[in-house]
Amino acid sequence: MNDKTHLEEKLIATIKADGPISVEQFMETCLGDPEHGYYMGKDPFGRGGDFITAPEVSQMFGEAIGVWLATAWLMMGKPEKVNLIELGPGRGTLMVDMLRAAKVVEEFTEAIEVHMVEMSPALRKAQGEALKGLPVNISWHQRFEQVPSGPCLIVANEFFDALAMKQITQVADSWFERMVELDENGELVLGLSEQPVAKADIPRWAKDAKDGDIAEYSPQRMAMAERVGAHIKKHGGAGLIVDYGHAMSFAGDTFQAVHKHKFVDVLHRPGQSDLTSHVDFEALAEGFEAGGASVFGPRTQRGFLIAMGLREREASLRKNARARERIMVSRQAERLIGEKQMGNLFKVLAITDGTLEEPHPFGLPDEMSGGDKGNDQS
């Protein structure tokens, strides 16, 4: 029986010809292969897809961010034109909700030029449809480097977790890279590199790890953070980065695959399962700073959204809804901020060009935003 995915066949052929590939290369190919990559052909979100993201859970998420952006624009001194840049905009839902909420400051909406950074043709199409008819100029870019100069506001939700990362593991005081190779039956299997990883490449926090521990780090995420930081520093502006992950670096295996709303083995159905890993916000913050940006947070998604008025918005949506919808609105709010749901696992980091004051609500004490546990790793 041959029920292998196209990408699995391709990977097996590559490994047979050229030898094992790193977990990093595997992840990058599974997500971004131009022909068979996960994001290339289909819309992975929602009930019929593989997973649900915060903007797809409720409009309250994008609205809170839209209000944050409007405030940031005021703090920037109301530039006449501002590039609103979204990295990895998925279905376009977040952009639609942000733009609607941004209307609280009318001149802000008039200043916005939208720039979508999206590598997937299928998702570009979905975004175009979601944004159809809105009175803003929208451009699409394959890569962040193509976004034009000018004052900017940058938003990324669940973008960094989709960039590939490396895994290394310690064996008898040396570190080896995790690889994908072939077992005796010619099937994909995880293994280790033959050569140890150069000492200079091992993250400093991993040096106290025990034998057998796995450490993850991502040169791709770091390079992207540095580019984004440098852009904000050069052109002026601010940004919000939301993702699931941990506030402090630590050793652990967080590489995961999701297929049809279930966790599966990371080697299961390559190209058809979503592959991600926790974002290390401590490392990411260093990347933004290396580019010249100032960093605030991270706060938990729970702390951020409550401080941005999520409870009040929930109450007003409930007031205008029928009984059944009222229950749904509260369930959605709980999903976004519940401590055992997305509330603590997801973190929000703000970046600025360094000339702006500390943006709200990053200066608030924890208790003002509903029990914000910034370092919770669960």
Interface positions with ligand SAH (CB under 6 A)? 39, 45, 53, 55-56, 88-90, 94, 117-120, 123, 157-159, 162-163
Helix, strand, coil tally for the chain in percent (to 5): 40, 25, 35
What single string gives the DSSP state of each residue in 210-265? PTT-EEEE-HHHHHHHHHHHHHHHHH-EEEEEEEEEESS-------EEEETTEEE-
* Shortest Cβ 299–ligand SAH spacing (Å): 18
Can you tell me the distance from the alpha carbon of 232 to that of 303, in angstroms, rounded to the nearest whole number? 25
* Shortest Cβ 217–ligand SAH spacing (Å): 17
* Shortest Cβ 143–ligand SAH spacing (Å): 7
Can you tell me the distance from the alpha carbon of 329 to that of 63, in angstroms, rounded to the nearest whole number? 14
* Shortest Cβ 238–ligand SAH spacing (Å): 18
Candidates 155, 75, 80; CA nearest to 115 is: 155
Is the Cβ of residue 88 or residue 287 nearer to ligand SAH in the bound state?
88
* Shortest Cβ 275–ligand SAH spacing (Å): 11
* Shortest Cβ 53–ligand SAH spacing (Å): 3
Is the Cβ of residue 163 or residue 351 nearer to ligand SAH in the bound state?
163
Q: How many CB atoms lie within 10 A of CB 82?
A: 22
Is the Cβ of residue 96 or residue 251 nearer to ligand SAH in the bound state?
96
Is the Cβ of residue 177 or residue 243 nearer to ligand SAH in the bound state?
243
Comparing every residue's Cβ against ligand SAH, the nearest one is 88
* Shortest Cβ 88–ligand SAH spacing (Å): 2
Can you tell me the distance from the alpha carbon of 347 to that of 327, in angstroms, rounded to the nearest whole number? 26
Is the Cβ of residue 124 or residue 326 nearer to ligand SAH in the bound state?
124
Is the Cβ of residue 72 or residue 147 nearer to ligand SAH in the bound state?
147
Can you tell me the distance from the alpha carbon of 279 to that of 243, in angstroms, rounded to the nearest whole number? 7
Which residues, at least 6 apart from 323, have a Cβ–Cβ distance to it below 8 Å?
A: none
According to DSSP, the residues that pair with 171 across neighbouring strands are: 174
Is the Cβ of residue 39 or residue 73 nearer to ligand SAH in the bound state?
39
Give the relative orientation of helices 310-319 and 59-75 as an angle to the nearest 10 degrees: 130
Can you tell me the distance from the alpha carbon of 11 to that of 188, in angstroms, rounded to the nearest whole number? 8
